[in-house]
Amino acid sequence: MTKLLLIDDDAELTNLLGEYLTEEGFAVETTADGRVGVAEAMSSSTDLIVLDIMMPRMNGIEVLRKIRQVSDVPVLMLTARGDDIDRIAGLNLGADDYVSKPCSPGELAARIRAILRRSGRTERDGTVNEIRTGELVLYPSNRRAMWRAAPLELTGTEFSLLEVLARSSGQLVSKQEISLRAFAKPLTAFDRRIDVHISSIRQKLGARPDGQPWIQAVRGRGYQLLEG
């Protein structure tokens, strides 16, 4: 099983990403301390490191510098949106890629797989290759979707939302949980982004034989992808 080391002091985000990546078939270890992360990276058989830049005690840039002195293990940096200086510094020190926070767990998993492919580190057994419910098939590794045996064209946001619903097919998923799992951040007041994108996905899926949409809305509670 592919082993990931997640170094980030944001406990809520770390738990969310750790749970998602574990569901994807990765073995995930976490630490909130950059110094511990350096020691883990040097002493363990880690396949890839996900490293936050903004951390206390030892920031991500210094952690990366120390790791690169002794190891060429792939490193994916988590950066603040628009923080070009740290992003450039990380890439110059040997980071393999970066993702701006807040990030979609699905996008993070796709970036991780892309780095593993580029670095020649193939995924070990255990990784989930597809999500299948009825005539819908999702491939998280390359963010591709099939509906009724035909390609389903989705935006990145639409794929993230549909993936959350497909993983809980037949179950009601609250909008708060959808936001946390798809966007790695809590839903804010008056935020209609989920509703707008769900409406677009409904149009692409079409109607059920009974004329109802495949994604049902429960007012004030959330959404449910119907099985069938």
Tens digit of each residue's pLDDT (9 = 90 or more) over 124-169: 554 556 889 999 999 887 788 999 999 999 998 899 899 999 989 9
pLDDT, one tens digit per residue, over 207-219 is 999 999 999 998 8
CA distance 31 to 36: 7
Write down the pTM of the prediction: 0.67
Q: What is the mean pLDDT of residues 194-221?
A: 92
Which range is least confidently modeled, 19-28, 67-76, 111-120, 149-158? Answer: 111-120
CATH number corresponding to 1-116: 3.40.50.2300
pLDDT of residue 56: 79
Domain boundaries in the chain?
Answer: 1-116, 129-223
Fold for the domain defined by 129-223: Arc Repressor Mutant, subunit A (1.10.10)
DSSP states of 25-84: T-EEEEES-HHHHHHHHHHS--SEEEEES--SSS-HHHHHHHHHHH----EEEEEETT-H
CA distance 20 to 63: 24
Which range is least confidently modeled, 86-95, 148-157, 191-200? Answer: 86-95
pLDDT of residue 162: 95
